[in-house]
Amino acid sequence: MAPTPESTNAPVPEPADKGSAGALSGRRIAVALSGGIACYKTATLVSRLVQQGADVRVLMTEAATHFVGPLTFQSLSGKPVLTSVWQADDHPDSQHVGVARWCELMVIAPATANTIAKLAHGLTDDIVTLVACALPSDTPLLIAPSMNADMWANGIVQKNIATLKTLPNCTLIGPDDGWQACRTEGAGRMSEPEGIRDVILDLLQ
């Protein structure tokens, strides 16, 4: 008599994990950084996305390069990093438009108060905001705010956040509560890389 399933020693399959290899195979993602201490977390995010098969292009504001060097992200993504509106690696005539049309999703992590203000008011004086402005209206834009708790509570910042929430293609994640670089605790920490990755997976389903 054949053994029942309960009597066998075969392992029970685990449910599919959002972090499993290949979950983002071939998906084109633009990862953008503005200037905040949380830039170090974005290195982990890029690594996680690449490990899951994503084709990642990194963009950095000039301020972001003071926290983590572009070479770090070039090594992790395997592609040149865009740091200037004048750079022309792949699209000599309109690099920002080319990247905006190429990506299936753009994530800005960390998104500082300054970058959030620019996005809310349509200012495009750096490569990150320029590409974000050029995104097709149906391309998801994921924003991960990161700043001091008092800055996050500022009424102008909250007004800008409210403006971004009205955009049909815009999703916000965080910020989280916790210890901050200013040596205080409160809201403003950028969400963890794994949490951002999971939202990316959901948006690209």
Which range, of 3-12, 43-52, 111-120, 155-164, averages the lowest pLDDT? 3-12
Q: In sequence order, what E strands does 13-111 have? A: 28-33, 55-60, 105-111
Residue 103 annotated as catalytic: no
Helix, strand, coil in percent for the chain, rounding step 5: 40, 20, 45
Residue 86 confidence class, pLDDT cut points 50, 70, 90: confident
Q: What is the pTM of this model?
A: 0.86
* pLDDT at site 95: 82
pLDDT tens track for 155-168:
999 999 999 999 99
Q: Which of 39, 103, 170, 182 is catalytic?
A: 182
Specify the CATH superfamily of domain 24-203.
Flavin prenyltransferase-like (3.40.50.1950)
* pLDDT at site 188: 84
pLDDT tens track for 102-145:
999 999 999 999 999 999 999 999 999 999 999 999 999 999 99
* pLDDT at site 18: 56
Average pLDDT over residues 59-82: 97
Residues 22, 49: Cα–Cα separation, whole Å: 9
List residues bridging with 82 in a β-sheet: 59
What percent of the chain has pLDDT above 70? 84
The domain spans of the chain are 24-203
